[in-house]
Structure formats: structure tokens, C-alpha cells
Structure 1
Amino acid sequence: MTTRLAALARWVRTPPRGPAADRAYSVALLVVGLVLLALDLRMIGADEPYVDVPGGTRPWQVGILLLGTTALLLKRRRPVLVLVVVTLLVAADVVLGGSLGMYLVLFDALFTVARAAAPRARAVVLGVLVTLVLAVLVTTVVAGLSARDVAQLTLVAGSLLLPPWWWGSDVRRSELLAAEQSRRADAERARADLARAHADDVARIAALDRDRAVQDERARMARDLHDVVAGHLSAVAIHAEAALAAPPDESRDRAALAAARAGSLDALGEMRSMILVLREGADADATTAPAGLARVTDLDVDVVGDVPAGLSAAVDHAAFRILQEAATNAHKHGSGRASVRFTADGDTLDVVVENGLRTDAAPVDPALTSSTGLGTMRERATALGGTLTAAPTGATWRVHARLPLRPGDETR
């Protein structure tokens, strides 16, 4: 029952629209009007016909009712013209005695104008309605009727003419409000789609940045591999050239061959370690100069203790890159200078970088950073068979990398 009442309230507030609905309204008004004529129910104040017509007034009123309901079929396209036609038909019906069916037709025509006509047409029609109500008031006063009759007739005129206009205007406002809400919902959906597209673009750009970083790092590693291997091969070539340039000498030639063999083995070992790293691939920053712990003084860090020397090229490069990335992150997100400490035993090199945390730092826009720093350092360590941890310890951010001093030995 409650559902049916709610549906009826929605229908009353916003009646359906369309040609099918218009035809249904016209047929319903025609049937109701015929029933009212059969029951001889007439308008208030028009109980008797003012003229005598052949065959009586009833057939003429049926014809007028049929014309009025037919005219309502055009009310969606020509609401003002239909109202004028219906008004003339109602006037003719009043002359014939008046019928409630034609008043219902007039009610629907007024409702349609208030609901669907242009603003200027609605203003004109409303002015005419108010004028008619005031005309009834003035006419009854001039006619010398009693105050009671004047008030009753004026209220009857207002109650007949103004309610359909008020209802149509209310429905119009409801429809405009619904259209505005729909427009805002469409705008919100469009903004949400744009936000999702922006997020997808940012993700794609970040992915492209990471891929480019991988390619750049591989190119740098290839250059570093060339520098390392070229140095050893140059030494081999120099020893061989020296041995060939002088007269044969067994002890000197054997020393040159031993040096050439050692240089070749070193070159092979360095090349194998570097190729293992290249095979893994890793991100890095934009520095293109050969990396190594010998350049640790170029970084904005405080070194605690000694910097290890004599490391293999792969370990030396990885340790420097990890330290470089940790120093960059400390500069972006930390406070003060970062400190680094190296500890080397027989098998591993420990690199510990610490910096103070900054609590008042504004969040970094994801579109302005690739967010690959920790991944870069971890990939570097993993490529050599080592490990890396990065986490806050109290008010300090600590990065700890453990790198094997002879990476790849387990696969020899």
C-alpha cells in the first residue's frame, strides 16, 4: 500500500510525458466528460443554457468536448495555441450551459502551458489569469453584490483558474531541478573519468621513467664494463709488446706471460661479474661518470672510518651506486647530512648509511618522482647475491647493504 501511494505521489508531482501519454489523457478526459454530461453535472454558476439550439444542448456539448479533447493531442507542440482553442470552446460550452468535462480540458491546457511553454508565453498567460480573477472581483463589486457573494465568486474564479497553473509550475521546477542534478552528475562522472585518466597517465609516465632508467643504467654498466676490461687488456697488450720488442729472455718473457695471464684472468672475472649485473638490470640516477668508492668524496655524505679499496669492479660499482642513491634520498626526505660506514670482512662488505628523519616534510607529488630509489638499491644488492634493508630506527633512517666480495663465486 505504501509503495502504491509513493508511486501515485510521484505521478502527481511529475506526470509522464510523450505522445502515448497525451493520447491516454485525451481519451480519459473524453470518457470522464461524457459520464459527467450523462449525469448532468455542470460548472458552478452556469446551470442553465443562455441560448436555444436545435436538438438541445447535450449533442452540441458532446461535439465541443470531442473537439477539446482532440485539440489536446497537440498540446506538447503548440501549448499556447491549444489553450486559446480550448478557451474558445469552453466559452461556447458555457453559453450552452457549461460542463465539468470541458473545465477538465481547460485545466489540462493551463497545466501544459505552465509546464512546457516558453517563459514569455507563460508570463502572458499568468497575467491574463490574474486579470480574469481581478475582473470577477471588480465586476461583482460594481454589480452591487454583497460582500459575501463578492468573496465567494472571487474565490471560485481563483480556485478554477490558478490551481492548474500552480501545479504545472511546480512540475516544471521539479523537472528543471532534476535536469540540473542530472547535469551535475554527468559533470561529476566526467571529472572522475578525467581523474582516472590522469592517474593512468601518471602511472604510464612512471613506468616509462622506470624503463628508461633501466636502459640508461645498462648503458652506463656497459661503459663501465668497457673501462674495466679495457684497462686489463691494455696491460696485457703492453706486457706482450714489451716481451716482443726485446731480445728473447726466458725469465723476462715468463714474467711477461705471467702478467698477461693474470691480467686476462682479472679481465675475465670482472667481465663475468659485470655481465651478471647487466643480466639482472637495475634502475639508477642520471650520473654517467664511471662509478666507484674512490669517488665517495664527491657525494654529500660524512664518511665514518676508512673507505675499502681493492674491491672487484662489480662490488665497487654497486656499493657506490647504493651509497649515491641513499645520499640522494637523504637529501630529499631527511634532515642534515647522511653518514656512511664501511665494514669489510673476509666474505662480505657492509655499507651502512644513516640520516635523520624530517617530520615536517611536505608529501612529494607522485608525478614528480619515479619512486624507484629503494628498488634501485635493493636490485643492486640482489644482482650480486647480497641483501639490503631500509627502515627507520627511532628518529634515524638506516640503509644497510651486505654485498659479497666475490659475487658469482657460487656459480663458478
Structure 2
Amino acid sequence: MTSRLAALARWVRTPPRGPAADRAYSVALLVVGLVLLVLDVRMLGVDQPLADVPGGTLPWQVGVLLLGTTALLYKRRHPVLVLVVVTALLAVDVVLGGSLGMYLVLFDALFTVARGAAPRARAVVLGVLVALVLGVMVATVVAGMSARDVVQLTLVAGSLLLPPWWWGSDVRRSEVLTAEQSRRADAERARADLARAHADDVARIAALDRDRAVQDERARVARDLHDVVAGHLSAVAIHAEAALAAPPDESRDRAALTAARAGSLDALAEMRSMILVLREGADADAATAPAGLARVADLDVDVVGDVPTGVPTAVDHAAFRILQEAATNAHKHGGGRAAVRVTADDDALVLVVDNPLATDAGPVDPALTSSAGLQTMHERAAALGGAVEAGPRGDTWRVRAHLPLRRGSVQRW
């Protein structure tokens, strides 16, 4: 029962529209009007016809009602014209004795104008309605009626003419509000779609930046190792050439073979490191001067303690590149110079970089950073079997790299 009442309230507040609904209204008004004519239910204040017509007033009133309900079929396209026609038919019906069915037709025509006519047309019709109500009041006063009759007739005129206008105006406001809410909902959905698309683009750009940084780092590893491997192989070739150029000598030849073997093993170890990197998809192109911990002085850092020497070339290069990236990040995002401490034993080299955190740094737009620096440090250490940890420690940011020195744990196929 509650749901039915709610549906009826929605229908009253926003009646359906369309040609089918217009035809249904016209037929319903015609049927109701005919029933009221048969029952001789007339408008208030009209008791007798004002003119005699042949055949009686009933057939004529049926014809007028049929014309009025037919005119309502065109109310959507020509609301003001239909109202004028219905008003004229109502005047004829009043002369014939008045029919409550024709008033219902006028009610629907007024409702349609208030609901869907142009603003100027609505203003004119509303002015005419108010003028009619005031005209009734003035006419009753001029006719010398009592104050009671003046008030009653004025209220009757207002209750007949103004309610359909008020209902139609209320429905129009509800439709405008509904359309505005729908437009806002569409705009909100469009903004949400744009925000999601922007977030996807930011994530995709960040992923591309990380991938590009990783590829660049792998290519740089290969370039660094290129010269090292070439140096070892050149040493092997020189020792072999020297042994072949001189007369046979067992001790000298064994020393040359020993040196050649050591150089080839070193070259093989470095080659394995390079292959591990190249397997990830980077290409080694132009050769560059190898980098190592001996170049720590070139970086804008404070070195704590001595820097180990004599570590394997691949580890030396990886440690320097990790230190270089950590120093760059400290310069960009930190609050001061970075402090570096490098230690080594028989098993591993440990690199620790500490820098103060910035105290006045604002929030960083995710679209402007992709964490590529940390990613390349992890890739560099992982290629040698090591690991990198990075994160805040109180008011300090620490990067700690652990790089194995034993060939058995570093070089893996």
C-alpha cells in the first residue's frame, strides 16, 4: 500500500508526457465529461442555460466537449493556442448551461501552459488569470453585492483558475531541478572518468620511467664491464705472445701460462657479470671509462673511514654506481651532504650512505617522480647477487648496499 501511494505521489508531481499520454488524458476527460453530463452535474454558479437551442442543450454540450478534448491532442505543440480554443469552447458551454467536464478540459489546458509554454507566454497567461480573478471581485462590488458574496465569488474564481496554474508551475520546476541534477551527475561522472584516466596515465608514465631507468642502468653496467673484460683479454694475449716469441723455457712458460690463466679467469668472471646484465634485455653499445670506488672523490659526499681497494671489478663498479645514485638522490631530496662509509671483509662489501631528511619539503606530485633511482640501485645489486635497503631512520635517510665478494656467490648462470 505504501509503495502504491508513493508511486501515485510521483505521478502527481511529475505526470507522464508524450503523445500516448496526451491521447489517454483526452479520452479519460471525454468519458468523465460525458458521465457528468448524463448525471447533470454542472459548474458552480451556473444553473440554467442562457440561450435556447434546438434539440436541447445536451447534444450541443456533448459536441463542445468532444471538440475540447480533441483540441487537447495538440496541446504539446501549441499550448497557448489550445488554451484560447478551450476558453472559447468553455464560454459556449457556459451559455448552454455549463458543464463540469469542460472545466476539467480548461484545467488541463492551463496546466499544460504553466508546465511547458515559453516564459513570455506564461507571464501573459498568468496576468490574464489574475486579472480575471480581480475582475470578478470588482464586478461583484459594482453590482452592489454584500461583502460576503464578494469574498465568496472571488475565492471561487481564484480556486477555479489558479490551482491548475500552480500545479503546472510546480511540475515544471521539478522537471528543471531533475534535469539540472542529472546534468550535474553526468558532469561528476565525467570528472571521475577524467580523474581515473589521469591516474592511469600517471601510473603508466611512472612505469615507463622506471623501465627506461633500469634499461639505461643495465646498458651502463655493460659498458663499464666492456673495458674491464677487454683489458683482461689483452693481458692474456700479451703473455701468450711473449711466451711464443721466446725460446722454450719451462719456468718462464709456466709463469706466462699462470698469468694467462689468471687473466682469463678474471675475464670470464667479468664476462659472466656482463651476461647476467645483458640477459635482462639491455644492449652494450659505446664503451666508456670504467667507474669504481677510486673515484669517490669526484662525488659531493663526505667519506667516513678508508675506502677498500682490490675488490672485484664488477663489485667495485656496482658499489660506485649505487653510491653515485644515492648521492644524487640526497642532493635532490635531502637536507644536507651525504656521509658515506664503505667496509669490506672476505665475504662482502657493505656500502652505507646517510643524509639528513629535508625539513621544509612539501608534498611531491606522483606524476613527477617514479622511484627510478631506488629501482636502478636494486637492479645493480641484484645483478651481482646482493641487495639494497633504503628508508628513513629518524631524521636521516639511509641507503645500505650489501655486495658479495666471493665469486661463487656473485657469479651465477
Q: Provide the TM-score with structure 2 as the length reference.
A: 0.91
Q: Distance in 1 between matches of 2:398 and 2:55?
A: 109
- Note if contact 2:217-2:380 (Cα within 8 Å) is conserved in structure 1: no
Distance 1:34 1:289 in 2: 106
Aligned to 1:29: 29
Matched residue type, 2:61: Q
Question: SS state of the match for residue 398, structure 1?
Answer: strand
Once residues 12 and 247 of structure 1 are traced to their aligned partners in structure 2, the CA distance between those partners, rounded to angstroms, is 115
Counting aligned pairs with the same residue, the percent is: 84
Residues 360 and 281 (structure 1 numbering): CA distance in 2 closer, same or farther, change over 3 Å?
farther
2:127 is aligned to 127
The alpha-carbon deviation at position 128 of structure 1 amounts to 1.4
C-alpha separation in 2, matches of 1:408 and 1:142 = 120
| 1:154-205 residue CA offsets vs partner (Å, 9 max, x unmatched) | 2211111111111101110110010001001000101111111111111111
Q: Residues 15 and 175 from structure 1, CA distance in 2 versus in 1: closer, same or farther, beyond 3 angstroms?
A: same
Pairing of 1:320-335 with structure 2 (within 5 A): 320-335=320-335
Asked if the contact 1:221–1:278 (Cα under 8 Å) also holds between the matched residues in 2, the reply is no
Is the 2:114–2:169 Cα contact (8 Å) retained in structure 1?
yes
User: Aligned equivalents of 1:289 and 1:10: distance in 2?
Assistant: 81
1:115 aligns to what? 115
Closer, same or farther in 2 for the Cα pair 1:63/1:40, shift >3 Å? same
Letter in 2 for 1:339: A
Q: More displaced, 55-64 or 372-381?
A: 372-381
CA contact (8 A) 2:113 2:122 kept: yes
Q: Distance in 2 between matches of 1:407 and 1:351?
A: 19
Residue 362, structure 1, aligned to residue 362, structure 2: yes
**Closer, same or farther: CA 339–281 of 1 in aligned 2, 3 Å:** farther
Structure 1, 288-297 or 170-179: larger mean CA deviation = 288-297
Q: How far apart are the structure 1 equivalents of 2:88 and 2:407? A: 104
Supply the distance in 2 between the matched residues of 1:40 and 1:112 (Cα, whole angstroms): 27
**Alpha-carbon offset, residue 149 of structure 1:** 1.9
Residue 194 in structure 1 maps to residue 186 in structure 2: no
Q: Is the 8 A contact 2:341 2:351 kept in 1?
A: yes
In 1, distance between residues paired with 2:346 and 2:21?
Answer: 93
Task: Quote how far apart the aligned CAs of 1:347 are.
Answer: 0.9
The amino acid across from 1:352 in the alignment is V
CA distance in 2, matches of 1:381, 1:54: 112
User: Offset of 1:129 from its aligned partner?
Assistant: 1.2
CA contact (8 A) 2:236 2:264 kept: yes
My pick for the range that moved more, 303-312 or 226-235, is: 226-235
State the match for 1:285 in structure 2: none
CA-CA distance at 1:56 after TM superposition: 0.7
Displacement of 1:249 in angstroms is 6.6
1:371 aligns with 2:371: yes
| Corresponding residue SS for 1:291 | coil
- Alpha-carbon spacing, 1:393–1:212, altered in 2? closer, same or farther (3 Å): closer
CA separation of 1:62/1:289 partners in 2, compared to 1, >3 Å: closer, same or farther? farther
Q: Quick one: distance in 2 between partners of 1:278 and 1:301?
A: 31
Partner Cα separation in structure 2 for residue 264 and residue 226 of structure 1:
14
Within 5 A, what are the aligned runs for 1:36-55?
Answer: 36-55=36-55
Q: Which residue of 2 aligns with 1:67?
A: 67
Find the counterpart in structure 2 of residue 92 from structure 1. 92
Amino acid at match of 1:356: P
Change (3 A) 1:117 1:407: farther
Please list, as runs of the form range in 1=range in 2, the aligned pairs for 1:168-179 lying within 5 A after superposition.
168-179=168-179
2: distance between equivalents of 1:73 and 1:375?
Answer: 74
CA contact (8 A) 2:210 2:375 kept: no
Letter in 2 for 1:173: R
What value does the CA root-mean-square deviation take over the aligned residues? 2.2
The 8 Å contact of residues 280 and 383 in structure 1, kept in 2 or not, is answered as no
Q: Which 10-residue stretch deviates more, 136-145 or 116-125?
A: 136-145
| Counterpart code for 1:363 | P
Q: Is the 8 A contact 2:217 2:376 kept in 1?
A: no
Partner secondary structure for residue 335 of structure 2: strand
Offset, 1:408: 4.5
How far did residue 239 of structure 1 move? 4.3
Instruction: Indicate the SS of the match to 1:352.
Output: strand
Structure 1 match to 2:392:
392
The corresponding residue for 2:81 is 81
Deviations 1:304-358 (A, max 9, x none): 1111112222211221222222223333333222211111111111111222233
- Please report how far the alpha carbon of residue 25 of structure 1 lies from its aligned counterpart in structure 2 after TM superposition: 1.1
Task: Using the TM superposition, give the Cα deviation of residue 69 of structure 1 relative to its aligned residue in structure 2, in angstroms.
Answer: 1.1
Aligned to 1:337: 337
1:354, 1:396 within 8 Å by CA — same for their partners in 2? yes
- Asked if 1:16 corresponds to 2:16, the answer is yes
Change (3 A) 1:407 1:259: closer
Q: Secondary structure at the match of 2:336?
A: strand
Q: Per-residue deviation at 1:228?
A: 1.2
Moved more, 251-260 or 294-303: 251-260
- Superposed, 1:191-340 pairs within 5 Å as 191-240=191-240, 248=247, 250=249, 255-280=255-280, 290-340=290-340
**CA-to-aligned-CA distance 1:366-388 (integer Å, 9 cap, x gap):** 11111233333233222222233
2:214, 2:375 within 8 Å by CA — same for their partners in 1? no
1:315–1:407 Cα contact (<8 Å) kept: no
**Is contact 2:214–2:372 with CA below 8 Å preserved after alignment?**
no
Q: What TM-score results when the alignment is normalised by the length of structure 1?
A: 0.91
**Which residue type is aligned with residue 5 of structure 1?**
L
Report the counterpart of residue 152 of structure 1 in structure 2.
152
Q: Which amino acid aligns with 2:347?
A: D
User: Residue type matched to 2:168 in 1?
Assistant: G
Question: How many angstroms apart in 1 are the aligned matches of 2:223 and 2:372?
Answer: 22
Please, which runs of 5 or more residues in structure 2 have no aligned partner? 283-287
Q: How many residues align?
A: 406
Following TM superposition, the consecutive aligned residue runs of length 4 or more in structure 1 with deviations greater than 6 angstroms are none
Write the letter of the residue equivalent to 2:399.
V
User: What is the deviation of 1:6?
Assistant: 1.8
Counterpart of 2:142 in structure 1 is 142
